[in-house]
Amino acid sequence: MKLNPFEKKLVQHPLRFWLQNHVEAPLLTSMMPKPMPSCERALEIGCGFGNGIQLIREHFGAGHITAVDIDAEMVAAAQSRWQARPQGVKGLSFSVADATLLPFANSEFDIVFDFAVFHHIPDWQAAIKEVVRVLKPNGYFVVEDLYRAAICNPLSRRLFEHPQQNRFNHSELLTVMRQAGFEIVRDRNAFNLAGMVLAQKVLR
């Protein structure tokens, strides 16, 4: 589900970028094994305005990043933001794609990132299955997302547009990830409002 105009403003606010780079990124990287495993080929689902790309480059050392979003406006904005930067779009690919139907081959990526996307996807369980499919064996999945309690309440309903059915909390997310073929390496649960998960695709 695409963002409403208010949430579009919010996700590209400099404060959101600051929080992502200075609070979320250190918390997420602290969950990764040391030394950092190879993140040569990275995929970001729901890239929005493209700030996650900076985080993935700087904190995870990704070689090539593929960034997708269901909203063509977001993809165009992310692409032009990166074109305007000194590093440019070298090592980056952008495309419009639905996380529940990813246009990639099996086992294509070393690492996949979800920064606040699943809570927008009606069938988020299908998106998890797609992430397992496109990850290499032993590949990592980094998730940072919002839970039912954060989005299914009168204030959030008034301000934003999120699916209200089939939402999830921290333990429900972990259960579905395990069933799909992930081992949970580390996780953090912030009062069942939001959480972070580092998962690894289990060899079967």
Ligand X SMILES: C[S@@+](CC[C@H](N)C(=O)[O-])C[C@H]1O[C@@H](n2cnc3c(N)ncnc32)[C@H](O)[C@@H]1O
1 counts as binding ligand X under rule CB under 6 A: yes
Does position 117 bind ligand X by CB under 6 A? yes
Choice from 28, 51, 199, 201 touching ligand X (CB under 6 A) = 51
Contacting ligand X (CB under 6 A), which of 120, 148, 162, 167?
A: 120
Cβ closest to ligand X, residue 32 vs residue 77: 77
Q: Can you spell out the DSSP letters for 84-110?
A: TSTTTTTTEEEEE--TTS--S-TT-EE
Residue 152 has which token pair?
């299914």
Judged by CB, which is closer to ligand X: 70, or 92? 70
Show contacts with ligand X in window 60-89 (CB under 6 A): 69-71, 74
Tell me the pairing of strands 182-190 and 194-201: antiparallel
Residue ranges of E strands in the chain = 41-45, 64-69, 92-96, 109-115, 135-146, 182-190, 194-201
Displacement of CA 185 from its chain's centroid (Å)? 17
- 11 binds ligand X, rule: CB under 6 A: yes
Tokens 């081992």, residue located: 183
Q: Which of residues 143-182 bind ligand X (CB under 6 A)?
A: none
C-alpha distances (whole Å) from 141 to each of 39, 94, 181, 187 are 11, 19, 11, 12
Q: Which is nearer to ligand X, 98 or 187 (CB)?
A: 98
115: contact with ligand X by CB under 6 A: yes
Tell me if residue 170 falls in helix, strand or coil.
helix
Task: Enumerate residues 29-48 that contact ligand X by CB under 6 A.
Answer: 45-48
Interaction between residue 121 and ligand X (CB under 6 A):
yes
Please, which of residues 92-111 interact with ligand X by CB under 6 A? 98-100
Contact 87, 113 (CB under 8 A): no
Which residues are near ligand X by CB under 6 A?
Answer: 1-3, 11, 45-48, 51-52, 69-71, 74, 98-100, 115-117, 120-121
